[in-house]
Each structure stands twice: as structure tokens, then as C-alpha cells.
Structure 1
Amino acid sequence: MISSLERIGDKTPVRQIKPVSGGAINEAFMIETEACRYFIKLKTGAPRHFFKREAEGLNLIKSTHTIRVPEVFDYCDADDKENDGILVLQWIEGKADNHTELMLGQQLARMHQHEAEFYGIKTQTYIGELKQYNGLFSSWSNYYREQRLFQQIELGKQRGTIKNHRYKRLIALLDHLDRYLSDHVPASLLHGDLWGGNWMAGPEGEPYLIDPSVFYGDREMDMAFTEVFGGFSSEFYNAYQDVYPLPEEYKDRKPLYQLYYLLVHLNLFGESYGSSVDRILDYYV
């Protein structure tokens, strides 16, 4: 950890190193030097470009000048010498106030107004520890079918979480996905993993996005995931709607977008998410 600080030019004495909550898959620490405070993530045996992709996602969001993200100071891969993968970020600490979620809704809506001419992203990314295969697609329904739903279905088939009747119904849904999704929707910049634990308040109550898994796609996918586990207030949704209203048909597509994230959780955590997957299949198949 100290060598990473030296690489970014901070050679001042360390005042404290404190373990903090950094999610389920990484170790995390607050390091305070005489010059600055840092949030540092460590992961032994981190997959190739694991923290690089997170850093790239944070910087892509930052480039929109719409919503804050922590500053990226340094990152490196784990290697065959058993060194940890590491990511060094700005330390963010604050408390939400009456305006935080209003700003979060407004600023996320403005981020979603940053669009590309393709769906997806060039590089392979991660959601949790699972690989997400991407590429650049001209059809949104094809991208969502092939690089989101199909990849999780195949992984579930390998892991034994998706089989028999569930597998057959998921394949049937893929075969008729064009009934529900358009080939051409605005290709918005998405956070990609937008649940309540992936935003936080800064020192003035301003919202920050963290832990992104970015790509370009239908903004309804981000919004659908916000409703899976909660953590977002009515102020957030009202503020989003004021800036960039969702279409009326969103309510019919929302479960289809939530399906992807539930398949991810099914493959990561097991059958406790199976009934939620099956309920969505009941709706569409």
C-alpha cells in the first residue's frame, strides 16, 4: 500500500491505517498521511484488469461533468508473485442531507443524457467478480440478449443454478426478446451496477457514484436495478423524472432489466434468488 502512495508522489509519513468496509469481495482501508486521506482496495489474486476497469469506469463518469466520483490516484493488477491487486482512491466522507437524493436524481439523469453511437463498451468488465463480455453493437436487443442475459444463463448452466424448466424458459425468453425491447434506444452512459450501496454522500452532502461497471445502453436498466434492493427515495425518482422523464412503457420492461441482475445474484449467491428469477419468467413466458 505504501509503495502505491510513493508512486503517486506522496512520501509523507503515514498517520494511520484503518480497515473499513469495502464490500464483500475486497479488503479495504483508509490510509491517512500528512498530505491526504486515501481509500485503498486490495484483492489477492484479482482477475486481469480488475481494478483497471473500475478506474476506467470512474474516469468515464467523471468526464461527463455531471455527477461526482472519487478521484483515481493509482491501480495495479495482482501478479504471479502474489502481490495484491490495488486501487487507490480519494477518501470520501460525509452525510446525506435533505438535498442529496434530489441532486442524485438530477445528476444521474444528466449523466444518462451522455450518449454513444453504439451499445456496449470495447473492454470486458466485471460485475462483482463475474466477467461481463461486451463489444460494440448496433442493436440494443442483440446486445442485451447476447452479452447480458445469455452470458449469465450459460454461467448458470455451468454452475447448476439454471437447469431444466428454468433453463428452457430463459431460452424461450431470449427467442422472443424482440417483442419487448427495441433495437434502437438512446445509448446512454450507464453506471451498470446501481444499487443503494454504490452511491454515497460527500462532505457537503453532494452525491458520489462508486463501484461502476460502465457501458452504453438503455438507461432504464440502471433505473430498474435501483428498485431491486431499495435504497433510493421518492425524491430521487421525482428529481430524475423532472430532468429526463422515463417513458410510460418502462413499467413493462422493468422486470426484464431486473432479470439480469437477479441472474447475476443467482450465480453468485445461489438459489435464494431463484424464486425472483422464476417470478419474472412467469410474467414474460
Structure 2
Amino acid sequence: MEQLIREKLTAIGDFSSVNTIRQVGGGDINQAYYVRTQEREYFIKGNNNIPPHFFRVEAKGLRSIAETRTVAVPEVLDYDEPENGKTGLLVIDWIEGIPASTTTEQLGRKVAEMHQHQNSQHGFCEDTFIGTLPQPNGLFDSWLTYYREQRLESQLHTAVSQGNMPEKRRKRMAVLLDRLDDWIPASVPPSLLHGDLWGGNWLPGPDGEPFLVDPSVLYGDRLFELAFTEVFGGFPDDFYKAYREAYPIPDYYSDVKPLYQLYYLLVHLNMFGEVYGPSVDRVLSEYIG
């Protein structure tokens, strides 16, 4: 891997000597490295077991967020589209800093500003990934249709194929999908969403400025994003306070929050197994008994 990294640095125009190549955290799926040359610092991911577009769509997501000029993201410097099991690399800026007292407040406000950047349709122009799982996309006029077909049904099919969907759970999922329009609005603004916004996917940069990393972007109901921020304990109160001040949250949030969290619980069910089954069942019970 070190030789590939050195070759990549040369390819992107950094001919200076390499001082440090150190494997770091953040590599649950990929191998991750901190690299320092005489010119600058890099964060480099590598993987030889990915589809060719795996790093391309991550780079596209980072650039989509950057284009909003709201919340900061690392600069994408280069990426590979590997085929036939070859190793590909994604090269981005190394981000490091210490949280300031206002960092999570800034994050809440800047995420709200990002959500105000909207598209004419829901979804995304390319299929993406969440963890190791593929996420089919496409562009849809109806958020309800997109959420049902491209999100919930997609994870349901994966769960069935992996044996994570016993008959009782599968039947209740079928009922829920049939009745989804009882709760999910078809017509909401398609906001730009990070798509995988939990506490591990942001970090403080210089001067405590918050940065988002590891996106799986889409356009959709911004409440879908907010619901996921609360799945694993939520963000600090000042994050939500600042968000609400910048972009008030509609009243129907409490009606759809568990239903939006269901998608991410299905993802975790498919990635980590039945330990997440009871959480899926609790949401199903809340909506259909």
C-alpha cells in the first residue's frame, strides 16, 4: 500500500519527500492512512474489494456539499475507479482540530443552511453506498415513492436474501409499505442531505470549524437526515437549537421520525445481524401494531 500511496502522490503533483505514512482509524471498510509530505497532509483511503464507482460517488458527494458553501468538507484531491479487484485510492485533505465551545452550534446552523439547497427531484443521479451496502438511487418527483422503493424496499430485499426477515417481520413490513402514504408526504422540498449523518461522520477542523466526512448524498426530506442524527443518542442540544433557529422544523417531524429511522435500522440489521431486529420490530409495532 505504501508504494501505491507514493505513486499516487506523484500522480497528483506532490513530488516532495514523504515524511509519514501511518495507518489510522476510520478504516472499518477501507484501509485509512495519515500521510505527510513536505508540502501538505493527506487522508488516504484504499480498498481492493469495491465496485469501480465506490470512491467516485463519495468524491461527488463531498464536492456536492462543498458547492453549497455552507458546511465545510475536506477537499477531494484524487480518486481511482478500480476494476478487477485492483486497489483504488481516495485522496482528500487531512482535517484536524480541537472543538471550540461553539463547534456543534456551528454544525447545526451550517447543516440547516445546507438543507436549504434544493433540487427539483428527490434521490441522486448515481447509485451510492452506506457502509458496504449499495443504495439504488435515480431521480423521482415523489419523495414518498423514492423512500418506499429505493430505500425501504431495497433494504427489505437485502434482509430477505440474507435471512434477516422472518415471516412475521416481513408481513408487517409489507403492511407498512402499503400504508406508507398515511405518514410520509409525497410533496416536500428535495433538500441536499449528507445521507449518513451520525456522530462519527463529522469532526472539528482548524479553529474548531466543523467538517462533514463520509457522505452518501441524496436529495430528500430533510427530516430524514435529522431523524438519523437521533438514532445513536443524538447530537448535543445546541446543534438542534441552532438548526431550528436557522431552519424551523415542521410539526410532522414527530410523526415520521421513527419511520425515517427505520431505514437506518434496516441498514444495521443487514450489516450487523439480528442484534438490530428488536429495534426494527419496535418501529413496526409503533405504526401498524
Provide TM-score, normalisation by structure 2.
0.97
- Which of 243, 248, 256 lines up with 1:253 in the alignment? 256
Cα distance in structure 1, aligned partners of 2:20 and 2:28: 23
For the residue of structure 1 that corresponds to 2:39, the secondary structure is: coil
Cα distance, 1:22 vs structure 2:
1.5
Cα distance in structure 2, aligned partners of 1:282 and 1:52: 39
Cα distance in structure 1, aligned partners of 2:90 and 2:127: 18
Provide TM-score, normalisation by structure 1.
0.98
- Which of 35, 50, 57 lines up with 1:53 in the alignment? 57
Opposite residue 40 of structure 1, the aligned amino acid is I
- Root-mean-square deviation (CA, aligned residues, Å) is 0.8
- Which of 3, 6, 11 lines up with 1:7 in the alignment? 11
Deviations 1:23-72 (A, max 9, x none): 41111000100001000001122222101100000000000000100000
Opposite residue 22 of structure 1, the aligned amino acid is G
Q: Is the 8 A contact 1:77 1:84 kept in 2?
A: no
Q: Is the 8 A contact 1:46 1:77 kept in 2?
A: no
Comparing 182-191 and 1-10, the one that deviates more? 1-10
> 5 Å matches for 1:105-124?
105-124=108-127
Opposite residue 174 of structure 1, the aligned amino acid is L
Counterpart in the other structure of 1:156: 159
For the residue of structure 1 that corresponds to 2:71, the secondary structure is: coil
Cα distance in structure 2, aligned partners of 1:173 and 1:4: 48
Do residues 40 (structure 1) and 44 (structure 2) align? yes
For the residue of structure 2 that corresponds to 1:232, the secondary structure is: coil
Deviations 1:53-97 (A, max 9, x none): 0000000000000010000001002332x4312100100000111
- Return structure 1 stretches of 4+ with deviation > 3 angstroms: none
Opposite residue 255 of structure 1, the aligned amino acid is P
Counterpart in the other structure of 2:194: 191
Cα distance, 1:245 vs structure 2:
1.0
Q: Is the 8 A contact 1:67 1:111 kept in 2?
A: yes
For the residue of structure 2 that corresponds to 1:192, the secondary structure is: coil
Counterpart in the other structure of 2:185: 182
Counterpart in the other structure of 1:71: 75
Q: Is the 8 A contact 2:27 2:45 kept in 1?
A: no
Cα distance, 1:163 vs structure 2:
2.4
Cα distance, 1:134 vs structure 2:
0.6
Cα distance in structure 1, aligned partners of 2:255 and 2:27: 32
For the structure 1 residues 223 and 5, does the alpha-carbon distance in structure 2 shift closer, same or farther, using more than 3 Å as the test? Answer: same
Opposite residue 76 of structure 2, the aligned amino acid is V
Cα distance in structure 2, aligned partners of 1:262 and 1:216: 20
The number of residue pairs the alignment matches comes to 284
Q: Is the 8 A contact 2:123 2:220 kept in 1?
A: yes
Counterpart in the other structure of 1:210: 213
Gaps in structure 2 of 5+ consecutive residues: none
Opposite residue 11 of structure 2, the aligned amino acid is R
Cα distance in structure 2, aligned partners of 1:149 and 1:245: 27
Cα distance, 1:231 vs structure 2:
5.1
For the residue of structure 1 that corresponds to 2:208, the secondary structure is: coil
For the residue of structure 2 that corresponds to 1:115, the secondary structure is: coil
Do residues 28 (structure 1) and 32 (structure 2) align? yes
